[in-house]
Amino acid sequence: MRAVDIIEKKRDNLKLSDTEIEFLLNEYLTGNIPDYQMSAFLMGVYFNDMTKEELLKFTMVMRDSGDVIKFDEIDRFLVDKHSTGGVGDKVTVILSPILSALGMGNVKLSGKGLGHTGGTIDKFESIKGFKFSTTKEELVKIANKTGVGLMGYSDKIVPLDKKLYSLRDVTATVPSIPLIASSIMSKKLAIYSDVIILDVKVGDGAFMKDLEQAKKLAERMIEIGKGAGRKVKVVLSNMDEPLGHAIGNANEIIEAIEFLKGNGASDVKEVVYTITGLALKEKGEISELSEAKEKIDEVIKNGTALKILAEFIGESGGNKDLINDYGLLPKARYVMEIFSENEGYIKKIKTEEIGKAAMIIGAGRAKKEDEVDHAVGINIFRKVGEKIGKNEKIAEIYYNDDKNVNESKNMVIDAFVITSEKVEEPKAIFEIIE
């Protein structure tokens, strides 16, 4: 069998056999097939897609390129929630203790952010002393105590995805629906759970800008899940404005804690309650998503969810008193207030622009090797649809040096689009696909 023959078949849009896919991927992982040949194959996929059978096999070979982890030692209904990433997305920090308080477990691999702001790992690592589990044994120990089991990605989990993604990044094949679907799902399938819930962000501040394309991605991921015998549900959520009010790392931890104290922004609440409802429904505790509200409200009102977050922080090496003392988090030296230049209604908040404004002051990474400054970030005080007056405060920038702060300020001002006409409050959830 030769790689060139497989490339030729994909170029001519002919269906590949399981054996051909196994050969291509396994030989590439071991270094027997060079990057230039795999690049040609990826471009063939970009233009000609994959069949349902090809994509399932492709994903399963990727999954099996590394360790596959089962959690037989955890006696809970396990939920693996994954977000495709957005600006101000602190959902995992909030969701995990809520799921635990409702008798479930959130066991997942979390990543560091590349781009606008930090990922879930970066947010938690803004807590002094906090260390993520690095082994399955550590994760199981903490998950059995708290119901929350988060672990950083390991080179032993789907190593083929890491190698392929690096190649996709430099060959203009990143925005390929089947390649995105296989990348996400190979990692989700490598960790066993009772249900996989995917939060696919759509809009200006998301990887998926278009709702129709996001639907196609959702359908392909559900298709892969069914083929692998796993339950997959997808939430298409709005990223045409930042999620909540905080963008950064330490300030997003504060917003997450405030949510668990009952002070949650409405858009964050809609996303968290929807994902929790889907988990409860799959577990068989409710028949309609609307039934979840009372259950979630109760674990927030009685403080159970907040207590679990504190326990998780403590078990992970941080100071659990943080939930009542934000002074334990890193604090930026300076604060710059930003005021509106016009009066009217907020028509749009350019989410990607806000994300970049946070990144250039250190809240995110332009390159993988960049260090994140956990203390810096942006808080926005107004949301789309709200009426504001001229010279009203719309945001604050928290920064440690003034290198890019004026540029960041200009980006934030530019991001707020004001109109004289009344604007409806946007939906946080576009659609649920099961």
- Give me the active site residues, please: 82, 161, 168, 183, 187
Distance CA 215, CA 235 (A): 10
Work out whether the CA dihedral 259, 149, 272, 393 comes out positive or negative.
positive
- Return the percent helix, strand and coil in the chain, to nearest 5: 45, 20, 35
Count Cβ atoms within 10 A of the Cβ of residue 11 and give its class: 0-12 exposed, 13-18 middle, 19 or more buried.
Answer: middle
Nearest one of 274, 308, 276, 269 to 97, comparing CA atoms = 308
- Coil, strand or helix at 82: strand
Q: Judge whether 262 and 341 are in contact, CB under 8 Å.
A: no
Q: Judge whether 160 and 119 are in contact, CB under 8 Å.
A: no
**Beta pairing class for 344-349 and 416-419:** antiparallel
Q: Collect all residues with Cβ–Cβ distance below 8 Å to 24 and sequence separation of at least 6.
A: 3, 6, 33, 38, 41
> End-to-end alpha-carbon separation of the chain, Å?
39
Q: Judge whether 221 and 185 are in contact, CB under 8 Å.
A: yes
Q: How many of the other CB atoms lie within 10 Å of CB of 90?
A: 26
- Coil, strand or helix at 338: strand
Give the CA distances from residue 361 to residues 48, 69, 180, 225, 413, in Å, rounded to whole numbers and listed in that order.
Answer: 41, 38, 29, 39, 15
Q: Collect all residues with Cβ–Cβ distance below 8 Å to 191 and sequence separation of at least 6.
A: 68, 69, 80, 107, 108, 109, 157
Nearest one of 126, 340, 103 to 254, comparing CA atoms = 126
- Coil, strand or helix at 300: helix
The count of C-alpha atoms lying within 13 angstroms of the C-alpha of 277, restricted to the half-sphere facing its C-beta, is 18
Q: Could you identify the residue written with the tokens 């998503």?
A: 289
Which DSSP string corresponds to 94-122? HHHHHHHHTTEEEEEEE----BSS--HHH
Question: What one-letter code names the amino acid at 235?
Answer: V
